[in-house]
A and B are shown apart, each in its own frame.
Chain A
Amino acid sequence: MDFLLWVRGPAFDVAVAIFLIGVVARLFEILLLGRKPLHSEPKGGEFGNGMAEIFKRSVPLPDIVKRGAVTLVGGYVFHIGLFITIFLFVPHIELINSIFGVRWPGLPNPVVDGVTVVTMVAMVVLLVHRLLQPVKRMLSGFEDYLTWVVTFLPILTGWIAYHRLVNPYPLILGIHILTVELLLIVLPFTKLMHAFTLFLSRWYNGAVYGRRGVQS
């Protein structure tokens, strides 16, 4: 019980603090580098095209779908799965409500349970693909496997806790929360930061090409 109190209390506060400070620091680190002023006569708008690109980029180009099928399908499934398990699981919504005082309807537990399994399967497929596909294997280093582990653990431990596969329950719940804290601490300083910088990158890309009046 002490363990659960600790992970819910001081450990949680520390993890959230590192996460928030880390993300803000990383964003500043990027944005402070700035951009050189542009003098060429623009052919299209920057801001609107950049904003549009943030959404348009979510749809892959048809040509790449076949060649990158595993990555794309696996990536979509696990990102959507991650979203559902984190934000549409009723106990999670209750937690968020207890902190921020906002709530939204969740999905029935059995549905989230199924989604969790699918998410884990997708992640395992992607890991195997990373180990086997020459390009991904070449690109991958310690960080790529570390981030996979810290993303996978909360899902796995949450699923185990939900099914009461480990006793006592407070122990597995504590481990689940601890893995989430690990994820929060690691996120700002690894490629997981793409959860935030993705919007910047897509905007810059869309803005540059939009300004030139060509599709991005």
Chain B
Amino acid sequence: MSSLSIERGLYDFKAVIDAPIASYFSSCVHCGLCAEACLFYVETGDPKYTPIRKLEPLRRVWEQEYTIVGKLKKLVGLSKPVTDDELEEWKELLYASCTMCGRCSQVCPVGNDIAYMVRKAREGMVSSGHAPEPLVGAATRAVKIGSPMGVKWPAVQNQIKHVEADTGLKIPIDVQGAEYMPLLSSMEIINFPEYLGALAKIFKQAGITWTIASKAFEATNAGLQIGSSDIERELVVRVVDEAERLGVKFVIGPECGHAFNAIRWDGPELIGRPYKFRVLPARHGRDQLRRHAGCRYPQLVLRRRRRREQHGGVRAPPAQGLRRQAQAAGGGRARAPGDGVRQLPADDRGGPRALQDGDPDRRSHRDDRRAPERGLRRLLEPRQNANDLRRQGGAGGQREMNSYDRTLSR
């Protein structure tokens, strides 16, 4: 990311346009139905959030570079080139207003995969220097430190120590020839260490060998989030190198939708060859549909904003009954400072609920023994939750969690 410029951005816009994108732009009839599926539009009613409009810069590049009419228009000076200012304006639309949940891709009557185009358009946003600061920070940390949240191996080791003390089981590290290699998201390392404990128990019961890779424990892929295939590839390669060096048969992707997509689907395309191992989802064989439920973060933020503004009731979530399993699990929206959201609670009906610091609900959520299942935990310990473990885990876990909170609120 040495020389970011509008020229490079436009070059990347040009480079990402493939047959599907050309077909999608050719097919759009401006019916506006994608807006009705977009939670940003439905919650705000502002037409600027119409999904296909978020691709206007990319569409113009396509028209000017790849269509007969567009080329003619360009010749006679009738076309409007995409400018730096415009991309700066579109930054909010392509990043802060899209989680790539894919609802628009599901409802488009002509079949346009708009979420796919948003992902591709971000390539040009990154290389033109219009990616949001917090994401650039996260991507930089991911590349330099190894984790977007700044979680380093010692922090994982610390959690492993607590988990080992709690469960009495050894967490294998860098074991050559182990069968399974689970990846962890920062969230699982810091806030939900019981995930690791549950894995240890399951693997022990099943009598399967497994290992955590000290050089590739982090599953979060900031490259996918920011929309840079270079960074995404770099982060995927770390996992691939370690998995293939250790000779594991399976890599288990994390609960996190975007991280799973990065390692499962984007990875082989980025490195240009199939893996020597298979990638499995964390909920492999069970509840696979819910794994794709998508990131609820934006609904949370918007609703919270609304509530703040109106002090009124909260509208029912938009398009909630849409087939959720195909939402490609997001991978779009990173937390930005100032949003003030620290965790993603879900209420009993499966909808999002905005909780603020000091909110009594926030406390009760943490203590809620009937909280929705998280990953593999409930398989073994239906009644144990993060809080119990944290209490048992002692000060170490608590300290880590605080530092995590700090990271988010920074």
Contact = CB atoms under 8 A, between A and B. Distances in A.
B22 A33 contact: yes
Contacts of A39: 268-269, 271-274
A133 B113 CA distance: 23
B137 interface: no
A137 to B, nearest CB: 8
Q: Which of A133, A135, A139: most chain B CB closer than 10 A?
A: A135
A26 B68 contact: yes
Contacts of B20: 35, 200-201, 204, 208
A208 B66 contact: no
Contacts of A136: 30-32
Contact of A214 (B21, B42, B273, B328): B328
Contact of A36 (B18, B53, B66): B18
Contact of B326 (A40, A67, A72, A214): A214
B113 A208 contact: yes
B111 A202 contact: yes
A166 interface: no
Contacts of B12: none
Interface stretch (B33-41, B86-94, B160-168, B345-353): B33-41
Interface residues of A, number: 55
A105 interface: no
B267 interface: yes
Interface stretch (B101-109, B122-130, B199-207, B335-343): B101-109
Interface in B64-105: 66-69, 105
Contact of B47 (A135, A144, A212): A135
A163 B48 CA distance: 45
A35 B30 contact: no
A189 interface: yes
B27 A198 contact: yes
Nearest to B35: A135
Interface in B260-286: 264-269, 271-275, 278-279
A189 B35 contact: no
B290 to A, nearest CB: 12
Interface residues of B, number: 63
Given A64-B37, A67-B36, A30 B19 contact: yes
B30 A36 contact: no
Interface string A40-56: 11000000000001100
A131 to B, nearest CB: 12
A103 interface: no
Q: Which of B27, B69, B266: most chain A CB closer than 10 A?
A: B27
Given A29-B68, A208-B113, A40 B268 contact: yes
B28 interface: yes
Contacts of A35: 18-20
A189 B68 contact: yes
B1 interface: no
B380 interface: no
Contacts of B69: 189
Interface stretch (B150-158, B317-325, B387-395): B317-325
A54 B22 CA distance: 17
Interface string A181-216: 000000001010110011011111110110010111
A61 B322 contact: yes
Given A33-B19, A201-B23, A216 B36 contact: no
A137 B274 CA distance: 46
A207 to B, nearest CB: 9
Q: Which of A71, A144, A189, A194: most chain B CB closer than 10 A?
A: A194
A102 interface: no
A26 B19 CA distance: 11
Contact of B32 (A31, A139, A204): A139
Given A75-B31, A205-B113, 12 more contacts: A30-B22, A39-B269, A41-B268, A53-B111, A60-B109, A64-B319, A191-B26, A197-B23, A201-B20, A201-B26, A204-B19, A206-B111
Closest 10 A-B residue pairs measured CB to CB? A202-B111, A39-B268, A67-B36, A135-B32, A204-B20, A40-B268, A139-B30, A201-B111, A200-B23, A205-B111
Interface of B: 17-24, 26-33, 35-37, 41-42, 45, 47-48, 50, 52-53, 66-69, 105-113, 116, 264-269, 271-275, 278-279, 292, 319-323, 325-326, 328
28 contacts: A25-B68, A34-B19, A41-B274, A53-B111, A61-B107, A67-B36, A67-B42, A71-B31, A71-B32, A72-B33, A72-B109, A136-B31, A138-B50, A139-B47, A139-B50, A191-B26, A193-B27, A194-B110, A200-B19, A200-B27, A202-B110, A205-B105, A205-B112, A208-B113, A214-B325, A215-B323, A215-B326, A216-B326
